[in-house]
Chains A and B, each alone.
Chain A
């Protein structure tokens, strides 16, 4: 065989060296690529700080779910707002409930639930059993899951109850709707856990924007009231009222500031937003000049008692037909100012729980309870510059009965905060109130239709009967 010359030998060596180099790096070494800027799904829950980040991730989903919809769900179908903007707001107002409604889509609520399910499943593996810090995190996850379910059952009735995270395609992804009583039981169990194990106070702003024991009890109070479990509501509301974290703000200026600046002593749970990438829908809903979606209804304006000091903080009294709602964004709000996105949305506050408790007291009855109910109601009235009801008869004289007086007070005090529609449904006044306005007449119409995208995506979801 011909001998290779020297240059050829050199190239042969290089070639062999190159092949050798390739051989030492095995394929797997080259082909194993872990994410650089994210975690791989099974590589995430490793440390305690991962668990914290995961719980903040649930709050992030809460921001998205409620930013605009808290008003569509809680105010859009009720009597305190009107709109001249076609679209979602007008469909709700007209009770023209179609399967295309954006507020009929529950996706964002299930994102909260999914993230909470992950946290509830994986956090225990990182902390020692019964570790207080671990339970604080799990408690928040459970409370937020309950918050999401609370809205789900109130808006749609029966909903799928999902309590396990999805980590594989082999899981049952086409779930059916669960009886809402079962969902409520899960909620109560979750909230009871949160009321026991969450932080009682964080000694910081976190007290308002994260779930505390007080927050869990307050939410539990709302749940019991919705289910008509008044005795239980009295127990949990008492815990809230006795919680030293919470007290009513005293002046009207502070009352207004409670929504604009947030973090007040009266606030129990508010969803935090900022002006950049975590924006809410308040500006579009209530304040963009001629484009504002909602303005106060005539009925609402007329329902104020004379001398109510809250009025100028809620809307522009100089205009016969106010073009904006000032409550969240501040008196005299103008859309020439750039940002209103950083207001927090106050979801639960002390006045709400006090009035719910007053309502529960009236239901349970007894003179001691009635007088406590009057006392609670009067605290709210007097702060607004209104005269106190000395006796139940005073309230009856003005509103027919004490319960109605409390409900009216809720309508005024908590206006536009997303309570009105649920109060009407809860107290079975929705049809009588809304029928003259938009013809609402059927019990089955009280829930929302399920958005067609959801029905189309899951053959096991059956539409609410009224909308079939």
Chain B
């Protein structure tokens, strides 16, 4: 019992300290008291009369009858209290308006008295709250709840009102009105202005933040069925753009913080989980035809997360130096709290379906268009070189048994997919040892047949107090995942999303005798490709952090961290003989990837308040980090049997060059520091500095220095603002400047490389592959940020705005150089990119009574511009960036470049200028052919006629969240939107292009068929000799508006009433149903406007990724 009381006491003290530190109340009020030989009690009355304070104590332990003398003139309350109790055994603490008294040597402030009114205080999840102050309003009578949240008060009059208060919770007043049992659920303070948020190497009160930081907490995560950390941020964090590269479980996601600030692929932010900088780039080596890989953060169970902080401006991020140019995402996982152990079980099950189907021609329509395409081809060719170009009559022969079908292959390949998830967590601890343990199991089918994702995660977070000054602890998480992928994206013959849309509807899957038909006229059997081909990715990952924290002196702490992130990944790929057209041909590959990052960080932090008003913080540290990646792999052909798919069964080892076994290493040494000053919470200043030395750069250019300064001014604390504080209760201006860097180049790029492995038959060869550049150094991003935080009407409306300019110079860029050098490019520091933008967030408590409604809305605008590029190379005025984009000075990253489609010639003679294809001797465009914009007006359509045809970057993005609660029901409705971006739909190009025997969309029914037809759909010509289709010619025919508004999440939960749960002997029971991606409003005609087939700067391309799905999930949450 003593132990429990001590615990309650320490929580109380902690709570007191917290609120003391915040200085929310007028402690500085001065008063004079002159009373001789008075009882303490009467002096206390005087203080209560003259100030807004009231006392709380237990008459059993605190003797207030003793008499003292006091003579105080114009002294603060604290000084008076010190004076008052100096010769007594009474100690005091201020907690808000409350002055709690306790007797020295006693472990409890006030004891409980077992009479009259009693009850229990819990938080919104039903967890008992110990240490809650319960006071009879207007008196000094009160108690503190015990570890079970219980309390009792004696002799309380009927007309009294009880006040329940607890740090971080909204105080509640409840009239007694004859009740003898009063149970209370305290809600978290609506606006956690005193909330603490994670910053680099420490925490800070949100109130004192000087930089631009967006925080997402666990309550937002719990309401959504997302399976990965990145998706949580979508639409919820201003300035952060999240795009799923595909809808496949576990697949890559692109996160961009405040625009694209670099040209190399290193555009993703730095992720730091519990202090561990983790690998966030895909390590997957076998992605089939996909351009992107897996999402390494899918290994983190979102249910473990306590909060996510996105550090956006230079001042917040510069403490992370060279890896922070794209923002830093700090993830804090749940840690144990002292108190009774808590067991939580969460079960979910759900179904997913495809959000929409795309149109395809049926068998009859298909035979028509194929015949057209052949006839047009023969017309075009004119039997020039062959006497007779015979075409494949099989295709249009409806009596051919292989060709009698009429199938929409989407019906065959997409399914209703099931998923189930189980999370179990334990947390609790004593004052000296705290723990949080969790495990989860996820089994998720993809909507494409045969795709499946399974994940097991487990985490232990533990903290131990070795002695009053030394804490040690660790966070260790383990994840095991098995991803049975299918080859969805890309444009190859094995890529399913595209190939099922263009597969002839007439094809059979079997021969008439029932045996599987694997290959017909260049098309593989998609069912066999999905079901029989193996693309298995198995990942094991351990992320660990161990720390020791020692309070050397009061306010001075030393902390040592040891961090490890280890990923072991194995990938197996196998194509059995059944999917190949060649006799006995099967092939397989294996890759094993070992990726280890470890870091040691040691730092001293100092925190001290002088003369109450001057608060100083300081930090100085050192860190050392090393990365090592090893890839081992082989490819093989002619396996003895389709049943043995390991490489020992391959009779030919075919890939010997690049992946047999390679290792790369990289290391970094850093020094960092921070100084902070805060005057009365009114003026705040902070300066950071980091020096990073990276092994990726030559000796002379190894170290980069990344400084930042920031300041904030709480103008509502100024005297002139007194008049408006009843409306604008809190207002703060922030200003920051900071620099960060980027070192995202190859590990040995500056040294230059000679590679081995490209052999001449059996003779081992070596050749220069990377041209050295010793002058290479950091890419630097400089960011200015102006921010304002406003709270209106006692925090009922909270508004944040940020304006920023972010400029990256000395870009690390693979500058193309003339091939006469023997190299395609050399990595150099060139060019300049600028992002400008603003972000707004508004939270409003629309209704806050029995029916509660809270809205948060955020919107972000970013304008990106390539300011300069290397001059020598701009002979055309631009640089290519993949197949669809260019980079050009004055334009944003992600502009599409190609031909402008103006329509279709209705008749041969409409081509009055005799515009030709390709060159002066090229074919003349005829009726039915596209009219291309002849930019150069030379009557030849060639490369010179290309122009900017679109921009993949949105004008704005954002989210709109609504939380409703009524009695035991809560409802979350979350919208997310993106506006003003273009998508280049390669997929639509593919499905409107008759190359060989491809099927098309129903748009093709409007095609040009004969002279005089007026349409915007050109005549199909087999093999597309005039490049009317997508493949040879990038054109705005395939550009579409990618704007969308999406009802991303609707979640309805029901908290089973306590009466029932008590009978069931559980503390909390919640049932919920969640729908994800329910409705999307968009003009985009592909599967989904949220798409990105490439990672990096080649944004906004839809090559037919795995489609997004609509998901409904049912779940139950039980706490014991």
Interface set of A (CB-CB < 8 Å, partner B): 7-8, 11-12, 14-15, 18-19, 22, 27-28, 30-44, 50, 52-54, 56-61, 63, 82-87, 90-91, 93-100, 106-107, 110-111, 113-115, 117-118, 160, 162, 165-169, 171, 173-175, 209, 272-278, 290, 295, 297-298, 320-321, 335-338, 439, 452, 454-459, 461
CB atoms of B754 and A338 under 8 A apart: no
Structural contact, B748 and A53, CB atoms closer than 8 A = no
B753 near A39 with CB under 8 A, answer yes
- Assess whether B124 is interfacial by the CB under 8 Å rule: no
> Which residues of chain B have a CB within 8 Å of any CB of chain A?
381, 384-389, 392, 466-467, 469-470, 548, 550, 552, 558, 560, 581-585, 600, 602, 622, 624, 626, 637, 652-657, 661-669, 693-695, 699, 702, 747-748, 751-756, 758-761, 763-773, 775, 816-824, 826, 828, 872-873, 875-876, 918-919, 921-922, 942-943, 1023-1025
Contact A19 B602 (CB under 8 A): yes
Kindly list chain A residues whose C-beta atoms are within 8 Å of the C-beta of B822. 110-111, 113-115, 117-118, 165-166
CB pair A336–B826 under 8 Å, yes or no, is no
Nearest B residue to A161 by beta-carbon distance?
Answer: B820
Complex Cα gap A27–B1029 (Å): 57
Q: How many Cβ-Cβ contacts under 8 Å join chain A to chain B?
A: 266
Say how far B225's CB is from chain A's closest CB, in angstroms.
42
User: A343 to chain B: closest CB distance in Å?
Assistant: 12
Q: How far is the CA of A297 from the CA of B822 in the complex (A)?
A: 37
B948 to chain A, nearest CB (A): 17
Closest to B763 in A: A56
Quick check: B1024 and A115 within 8 Å, CB to CB? no
Bound Cα distance from A59 to B767, whole angstroms:
10
Contact of B381 among A34, A84, A209, A335 (CB under 8 A): A84
Q: State whether B469 touches A8 (Cβ < 8 A).
A: yes
Question: Roughly how many angstroms separate A168 CA and B817 CA in the complex, as a whole number?
Answer: 12
Distance between B655 CB and nearest chain A CB, rounded to angstroms: 6
Contact of B584 among A160, A276, A338 (CB under 8 A): A338
| A278–B872 CB distance below 8 A | no
Interchain Cβ contacts under 8 Å between A and B, 13 examples: A8-B469, A14-B548, A22-B602, A41-B771, A53-B756, A57-B766, A58-B767, A162-B820, A173-B821, A272-B761, A277-B655, A290-B392, A454-B819
Known contacts: A33-B665, A169-B828. The answer to whether A86 contacts B1024 by CB under 8 A is yes
Is B748 a contact partner of A337 (Cβ separation < 8 A)?
no
Interface centre among B657, B759, B819, B943 (most CB of A within 10 A): B819
Closest chain-A Cβ to B547's Cβ sits at a distance in Å of 13
Report the nearest B residue to A62, measured CB to CB.
B760
- Given contacts A42-B772, A321-B386, whether A56 and B759 have CB atoms under 8 Å apart is yes
Give the complex CA separation of A178 and B763 in angstroms.
34
In the complex, the chain A residue whose C-beta lies closest to that of B747 is: A33
Given A93-B385, A117-B822, A272-B761, 12 more A-B residue pairs with CB atoms under 8 Å apart are A8-B550, A15-B560, A30-B695, A39-B755, A57-B760, A57-B765, A61-B767, A87-B1023, A115-B768, A169-B826, A321-B387, A456-B876
Do residues B756 and A38 form an inter-chain contact, with CB atoms below 8 A? yes
Inter-chain contact A57/B758, CB cutoff 8 Å: yes
- How distant is A43 from chain B, measured CB to nearest CB, in Å? 8
Pair A277/B582 contact, Cβ less than 8 Å: no
Q: Distance (Å) between the CB of B518 and the closest chain A CB?
A: 12
Residue of B whose beta carbon sits closest to that of A41: B752
Closest to A100 in B: B943
Contacts of A86 in B (CB 8 A): 1023-1025
Other-chain contact of B652, A54, A275, A320 (Cβ < 8 Å): A275
Nearest CB of chain A from residue B228's CB, rounded to whole Å: 32
Partner of B583, one of A37, A53, A336: A336
Tell me if B760 and A338 are in contact (CB < 8 A): no
The distance from the CB of B632 to the nearest CB of chain A, in whole angstroms, is 11
- Residue contact B759 to A31, C-beta cutoff 8 Å: no
Asked if B637 and A276 sit within 8 Å, CB to CB, the answer is yes
| A200 to B785 Cα, complex, angstroms | 73
On whether the beta carbons of A457 and B921 are closer than 8 Å, the reply is no
Docked-complex contact B759 and A37, CB < 8 angstroms: no
- A8 nearest in chain B by CB position: B469
| Residue pair B693, A39 in contact (C-beta under 8 Å) | no
**Do the beta carbons of A31 and B702 come within 8 Å of each other?**
yes
Q: Which of B669, B699, B767, B919 contacts A30 (CB 8 A)?
A: B669
Residues of A within 8 Å of B668, CB to CB, are 31
Question: CB < 8 Å: which of B385, B669, B747, B768 contacts A41?
Answer: B768
List 8 tightest A-B contacts by C-beta distance, closest first: A114-B822, A41-B752, A57-B767, A276-B654, A56-B765, A82-B385, A59-B760, A39-B754
From A336, A439, A458, contact of B818 by CB (8 A): A458
Say whether A31 contacts B667, CB under 8 Å. yes
Q: Which of B583, B694, B921: most chain A Cβ within 10 A?
A: B921
What's the least CB distance linking B170 to chain A, in Å? 41
Q: Which of B388, B470, B759, B943 has the most CB of A within 10 A?
A: B759
| Given A7-B466, A85-B1023, residue A33 in contact with residue B667 (CB < 8 A) | yes
| B747 neighbours in A (Cβ, 8 Å) | 33, 35
> Using Cβ atoms and an 8 Å threshold, which residues of chain A touch B1024?
86
